[in-house]
Structures are given as C-alpha cells and as structure tokens.
Amino acid sequence: MNPTDTAVLPGDPVTDVPGSAMTTDDRELVISDLHVVPIGQPDREILAGIDLVVRKGEVHAIMGRNGSGKTTLAYALMGHPAYQVTHGQAMWKGLDVLKLSPDKRARLGLFLAFQYPTAIPGLSVASFLRTALNARRRGLTGGDSDFDPSDPTRGGISMGDFRRLIREKMALLRLDDAFAARYVNEGFSGGEKKRLEMLQMAILQPEFAVLDETDSGLDIDALRIVAEGVNAQLSPDLGILLITHYQRLLNYITPDFVHVLAAGRIVASGGRDLALRLEQEGYGPILREAGLPASASDEAEPAEPAEESEVHA
Ligand SMILES: Nc1ncnc2c1ncn2[C@@H]1O[C@H](COP(=O)(O)OP(=O)(O)O)[C@@H](O)[C@H]1O
Ligand SMILES: [Mg+2]
C-alpha cells in the first residue's frame, strides 16, 4: 500500500517514523507463519503457516470448506485454551497478541465473537455489557490501580452515560428496549445470539473484530443480522476478519479481500471476484491450482434446469 494513502490525523501517534522502535504501524494486525495444534493432539497441525495482514478500515473474508481450520484461526487469535500456537506471531500495536491473556487482547481493542455463545442465567444483557465495557476501559486507562468502574473521573462509565450509550447502539441495531433486560443468551434464538454479538461489538467499539460464522443452521435472518450489524459499524478505525463458510454472506457484506483456507494455509487471495468465482466453480479448481486434492463435493452444483412451466410459458 502506498504510504501516502494513510493520512496522519492530528493526535495520531506517529509510529512509522524511520528508526522508531515499532516498524509496523498500529493500524494493522500482522499474522505471520502461524502454526496451531489442538492441545489434545499436538502432532495434528490444524494451521500450518498462516500469513495475513489486516489493516483497520478493511474487511477480509476467510472462506474454506468445513474442517479447513477457520474456527481454529479465530480461536487461536482469541486465546482459546484448547489450542496451542506452536510457531508464529500476530503483531498488533507492537505486541504479539498470541502471548497475551484473552482479556488483555480485548483491552487492546480486539473483539472476538463466539461461534457458540453460552447462556449466563441471572445476568442481564445490560449488566453484562457494562461489565465488559468497564473491563475494556480499564485497559485504556493504562493500569488497574486507579480504575473505578463506578467513578467516571477514574475511568469508569456513569450509569447515565451507559444508558445513553446502550440506547444509541440498540437503536442502531434496531433492537427493542426489552432486549437489555433479558438474561445473556438464555432462551435466545440463533438470530438473537447474533444480535447480542453485534450489540456487544457496538458497545465495546473494538479496533479489530474477528467474526466466525457458524457453518450450519445459520438462517438467512441471522445472516442479515450479522451483515446489518457489521455494515452499521464499518469505519476506518475498525479492521474485520470475517470467517465464513458461505459465499452468500458476502452478498450482504462487501469484503475488500477474500482468502481461501485449505490444508491449514491460505491458498488463494483476491478481491470480491474470488468469492464469486468460488460460488460459480466451487472449491475444486482453486484447490487443484494450489496442488491440493479436490473431491466431487468441491465442485459447484450444476445450474438448476429450468422448470417445465417456465420453458413453456
Ligand atoms: N480441539 C480439537 N481437537 C482435535 N481436532 C480438532 C480440534 N479442533 C478442531 N479440530 C480439527 O481441526 C480441523 C479444523 O477444524 P475447524 O477449525 O473447526 O474448521 P472449520 O471451522 O473450518 O470448519 C477439523 O478437522 C477438526 O476436526
Ligand atoms: Mg468453523
């Protein structure tokens, strides 16, 4: 990218000055040579060298067949305890986030949506979000010692400000007020879980979000909710890694870059046209081009024959 593309705004920390300690600027997540194994099976490498750079303001889609390692990538970035990073790094703001605890990652502005969110009976959506927001703000004030979540002069958010914030964000996502009083994920439909995920993202205002789409049972409504939520939050200060099994999600969210994951690596990268090609041709040709085996299920479905009634109409 041409360095002149990136305007330096007043007040922005200048990090790409020659000779400064940090050579990457803090507007990008740089994943290099990431290798990941499941804790229980250390000889089974799921990710075998992922290289990826996502800058703020960009939407990158990761696509791949079932079992290609998409969720493992999200989990590794999140710090899921069931996965071990055996090699590589993910640099963000001068730090390798893979070495940090999940809560520190969140405080640094990373947001990792869960593919299978858990219910927390007894905890309301509003309390949950306020606690999460305070945890995030604690990170921003630099240390734990002086922080007081109930005291706005010590980094916390006042009840009044929080109410205004949650109202504003719920309106943005077209959620009705009753949603905030419900218990986290308890009895939520798939679509409501997705709405909470989007609301959480809107409240926390991350600088980098990893969104993992569930591979099955995601109905068109849930897909639209995610797409509307993401589109409402697009900003030059937010980078998005959108993990999806379905090209159709990309009918609602336009990615700047599309990457295909197979055999633990990114085997093809391109623009939106790559997703369209996948829709038309299936994974087969791209896998073969990468020297990987492809099965019949990787080929595109043949076009539906025209209905009898249409033919004779
Ligand atoms: N905790 C685990 N232990 C053993 N194997 C796992 C574990 N997690 C994922 N795998 C295997 O790694 C592969 C990639 O899984 P996953 O990342 O969930 O793929 P995707 O999200 O692309 O469908 C699959 O073959 C899966 O069975
Ligand atoms: Mg998955």
Question: Tens of pLDDT along 1-46?
Answer: 444 344 333 334 444 444 334 445 789 999 999 999 999 999 999 9
Extract the tokens encoding 178.
């009753």
CA 243 to centroid of ligand 2, rounded, Å: 8
Backbone phi and psi for residue 60, each to the nearest 5 degrees, phi listed first? -110, 130
pTM assigned to the model:
0.84
What is the C-alpha end-to-end distance of the chain, expressed in Å? 53
CATH of 3-119+185-294, one of 3.30.420.40, 1.10.260.40, 3.40.50.720, 3.40.50.300: 3.40.50.300
The residue type found at 184 is V
Res 6: pLDDT: 40
For the chain, the domains span 3-119+185-294, 120-184
Nearest CA to ligand 1 atom 25: 67
Query: Ligand 1 centroid vs 267 CA: distance in angstroms?
Result: 18
If we measure between CA atoms, which residue out of 35, 87, 32, 13 comes closest to residue 263?
A: 35
CA of 186 to the centre of ligand 2 (A): 23
Q: Give the distance (Å) from ligand 1 centre to CA of residue 67.
A: 6
The ligand with the least distance to the CA atom of 63 is 1
Distance (Å, whole) CA 44 – CA 75: 16
Cα–ligand 1 centroid distance for 189 (angstroms): 25
Q: What pLDDT shows up at residue 195?
A: 86
List residues near ligand 1 (CB under 6 A). 38, 40-41, 46, 64, 66-72, 82, 215
Predicted pLDDT of residue 308 = 46
- The pLDDT score that the predictor gives to residue 236 is 96
* pLDDT tens figures, 55-87: 999 999 999 998 999 999 999 998 899 999 999
Closest ligand 1 atom, residue 65 Cα: 22
In the chain, which residues have pLDDT < 70?
1-24, 114-117, 139-145, 150, 214-218, 301-313
| Nearest-CA residue for atom 6 of ligand 1 | 38
Give which of 243, 241, 246, 195 is closest to 217, Cα–Cα: 246
Q: Which ligand is nearest to the CA of 66?
A: 1
Smallest-distance ligand from the CA of 62: 1
Q: Which of 72, 211, 214 most suits a substitution to test ligand 1, by most atoms within 8 Å of the C-beta?
A: 72
Distance 72 CA to ligand 1 centre (A): 6
